[in-house]
Amino acid sequence: SQQGEEDPQALSIQEGENATMNCSYKTSINNLQWYRQNSGRGLVHLILIRSNEREKHSGRLRVTLDTSKKSSSLLITASRAADTASYFCAPTSSGNTPLVFGKGTRLSVIA
Amino acid sequence: NAGVTQTPKFQVLKTGQSMTLQCAQDMNHEYMSWYRQDPGMGLRLIHYSVGAGITDQGEVPNGYNVSRSTTEDFPLRLLSAAPSQTSVYFCASSYTDLRRHYGYTFGSGTRLTVV
């Protein structure tokens, strides 16, 4: 298993702005997943991008993957106060190895 | 579907007591795992299982036991609770076949306080 490292550690933006957070990892992957955690709650799976994909969209979320640079980015467009949460990336090599999480990016969206 | 169900949601233990945190899933997922999350921190892996009868240790296994007698259930046992085990515990499950894999499903957590 390998751990993704999210950057920045904290991000504060105004409502309506876009938020971008990045993830780096060390070894080759099968897929990379992004999760959101609202305060005191369990993680919620947002999006999964496979190693043969470069970009994926889901609603206001856009995820890119650059396997040559071993990095991914998560873009949240037109952010809302409800997007305030911690965001975690999880690079995955196989289904039998556990996800290891970093400290995440804490996003604050100010109304 | 209920997804991943964790019980109890809250628990207060005295130092030295034992207890079992329950985790059940109804999605026929082969993979299940337990994490703990301390304030301001990310999740740390305690134990995981890739199928019934198979378990393995994660990053912080000391003081915890697990077993996986069925696909649905993955209980976490605290043998002799210590204040350092005060934390929020999350259970998660997924398919192991990456062709079917769509991410992990997490439970809502058990908030444990050891006094």
In chain B, the residue whose alpha carbon lies closest to the alpha carbon of A87 is B42
Which of B97, B98, B100 should one mutate to test binding to chain A, selecting the residue with the greatest count of A CBs within 10 A? B98
Q: Which pLDDT tens digit goes with each residue over A55-106?
A: 999 999 999 999 999 999 999 999 999 999 999 999 988 777 888 888 999 9
A51 touches chain B (CB under 8 A): no
pLDDT tens per residue across span B47-95: 999 999 999 999 999 999 999 999 999 999 999 999 999 999 999 999 8
Tell me the backbone φ, ψ of residue B35, rounded to 5 degrees: -125, 155
Can you tell me whether residue A110 is helix, strand or coil? strand
CB contact under 8 A, B96 and A101: no
Q: Which residues in chain A have their CB less than 8 angstroms from residue B88's CB?
A: 40
A29 vs A2, A49, A66, A94, B61, CA distance in Å? Answer: 9, 10, 11, 8, 26
Closest by alpha carbon to A9, among A19, A18, A22? Answer: A22
Cβ neighbourhood burial of B83 (10 Å; 0-12, 13-18, 19+) = exposed
